[in-house]
Amino acid sequence: MAAFDFIALDKPRQSDLDRCVHCGLCLNSCPTYRELGIEMDSPRGRIYQMNQVARGEAAIGPSYIEHIDLCLACRGCESACPSGVQYGRLVEAARAEIEAATPRPWHERLVRHVVFERLLPSRFLLRLAGRMLWLVQASGLQKMIRSLGLLPGRMKDLDRLAPPAEMPDFFSSYGRVFPAEGSRRHKVALLGGCIANVSFARLNEATVRVLTKNGCEVHVPDGQTCCGALHVHAGIRDQARKQARQNMDALLGQGFDALITNAAGCGSTLKEYHDLFEGDPAYGAKSHEFSKLVKDVNEFLAAMELNPNLGPVRRTVTYQDSCHLAHGQKIRAQPRKLLQSVPGLTLKEMAGSDICCGSAGIYNVLHTDMAMGILEKKMANVNRTGADEVVTANPGCMIQLRAGTCQHGSGQPVKHVVEILDESYAAFRS
């Protein structure tokens, strides 16, 4: 059989572009427009530029690339749009078209190849990188460099955004099955992520504990790999497809009731695998089957009757909506419901909780100044709540918000919803 041609899927579709009626109701929900006040850095302006390229009225040149690159792909505009414009799909496709049309200098090509095609899908290389980072952090070298003030301005920001390394990593749990506590209600698979396996190993373990407490037999399938979300956001769709095929082959047909992720950014892409394979005779139907099984951990737990053995967690927290949970997956009430089920916990809402914190995958590393400007405003809202902790639902947001609480707050801890539940179960005394 001839290989399926994905070219039509890898550029903005005219039918998607045509949904925009240029009303501008999305502008105020766009962090880059709020920051810069420039129409071309608003959702409406970006769609206008995509239309120009689609009609052949403008070239894919430096100006277009800059405005599309500066988008956080946070999809805040998608929630605000009354016409149902699927902006996330548009910007991802625009980036894929740019990727295909723009020859990059050799050093950029090399970095992208190493990061996206070698490091992220490789368990061996992620473990190696994690161990090296752990050595730098555990040896005190990182602390010394910080205290001596050896890092210049931008490097200081990048250092604050460096993911932590946790030992042992979560890859050591791959291939394991964790039995349900009490009678088994569900058989689920946990997707460990890529960087999260070394930077959020304890969060993944907490996720396993909370799920098993709630009657889930948790499998961590050995054949899984990075979901490809970072690739899709960067326009590197063929590599994303390669990884998606591996995940579908490894996870479908195993009798799982759900494929669970604790990372909102991954969840959006996993639930939209069908956008990558539309019409593909080999994986088109499978991608729909796969996407239907994917559940964010908040969504999954909030839909069941929770194990009530929750102990007190006496703190006030505020919740930051992860963009790919609130806007990408329309999941807003569920994490709040879970937090409100914890005895002793007070949830204080912040203004603009569903506006991006500036993390956006690796956006904060590529566009550090913009990301830090957005973060500063976010932290003003966090601080106004007076909360002891910030809670969110995505590891990438946790890194960004931790940088924010250190730089603009009082160092408030930043936790995942699941970590609060885990703490509450641990505090239960019968």
The residues of the shown chain that bind ligand SF4, judged by CB under 6 A, are 20-26, 29-32, 43-44, 46-47, 71-77, 80-81, 83, 85, 87
| Amino acid letter, residue 367 | H
Residue 121 CA, chain-centre distance (Å), reads: 16
Alpha-carbon distance values, 74 to 89, 265, 405 (Å) = 11, 10, 21
Nearer to ligand SF4, 42 or 424 (CB): 42
Nearer to ligand SF4, 20 or 201 (CB): 20
Residue owning tokens 């591996």: 246
Smallest distance, Å, CB 78 to ligand SF4? 7
Smallest distance, Å, CB 277 to ligand SF4? 23
Smallest distance, Å, CB 44 to ligand SF4? 4
Nearer to ligand SF4, 47 or 198 (CB): 47
Helix (H, G, I), strand (E, B) or coil at 253: coil
Smallest distance, Å, CB 400 to ligand SF4? 15
Alpha-carbon distance values, 297 to 157, 188, 260 (Å) = 31, 11, 6
Q: How many CA atoms lie within 13 A of 429 on its CB side?
A: 2
CA angle at 45 for the pair 268 and 65, rounded to the nearest 5°? 70
Nearer to ligand SF4, 42 or 173 (CB): 42
Residue owning tokens 């500063």: 376
DSSP 56: T
Smallest distance, Å, CB 72 to ligand SF4? 4
Nearer to ligand SF4, 99 or 238 (CB): 99
Smallest distance, Å, CB 81 to ligand SF4? 3
Nearer to ligand SF4, 32 or 212 (CB): 32
Crossing angle (nearest 10°) for helices 153-160 and 368-385: 60
What long-range pairs does 78-83 form, CB within 8 A, spacing at least 24? 78/327, 78/328, 79/29, 79/326, 79/327, 79/330, 79/354, 80/25, 80/26, 80/28, 80/29, 81/20, 81/25, 81/26, 81/43, 82/23, 82/25, 83/19, 83/20, 83/21, 83/23
Smallest distance, Å, CB 199 to ligand SF4? 24
Nearer to ligand SF4, 36 or 136 (CB): 36
The CA dihedral of 264, 270, 275, 279, to the nearest 10 degrees, is: -170
Residue 107 to residue 5: CA distance in whole angstroms = 29
Smallest distance, Å, CB 331 to ligand SF4? 17
Nearer to ligand SF4, 46 or 213 (CB): 46
DSSP 218: E
